[in-house]
Amino acid sequence: MGQRAERRDKPLVWLRGEIKTPPFSETARIEAGLLLRRLQRGETLSLPQSRPMPAIGRRCHELRIMDAGHNWRIVYRTDLDAIVIGEVFDKKARATPLDVIDRCRERFGRYDEAVGRRILR
């Protein structure tokens, strides 16, 4: 009798931010949770829910959550063993603010040092 490999969801590692109501509406919070669960299960999301963020680093993306009067963004990276969250913010302009990009680079770099990883950019 063959054994079926047990598939485990990747954990979420929160370096910064949280998703709660408020400031997210209940609908936006639920949508964010469902999208994060899909990522944890190994799905690859694309537009309109997610877009790559190569300016931050390899395997970095932003989830896009539309809410009443808000354009929430969740910056994340897909590692082999986890989904790492670098920032949650309300995007007010067309371009991602440079300070958000810089902070995410720094946070992911510190995380990699803490867990002993070397990530090639």
pLDDT in the model for residue 20: 87
Domains of the chain in sequence order: 12-114 (3.30.2310)
How does residue 118 score in pLDDT terms, banded at 50, 70 and 90? low
In this predicted structure, the answer to whether residue 62 has a pLDDT above a threshold of 90 is yes
What is the Cα 87 distance to its own chain's centre? 8
Measured CA to CA, the distance from residue 17 to residue 87 in angstroms comes to 5
pLDDT in the model for residue 8: 84
pLDDT in the model for residue 72: 95
Sheet containing 60-67, strands listed edge to edge, beginning at the edge strand earlier in sequence: 12-14, 83-90, 70-78, 60-67, 50-52
Q: Among 36, 23, 106, which Cα is nearest to 74's?
A: 36
Read off the DSSP letter of residue 111.
Answer: H
pLDDT in the model for residue 6: 57
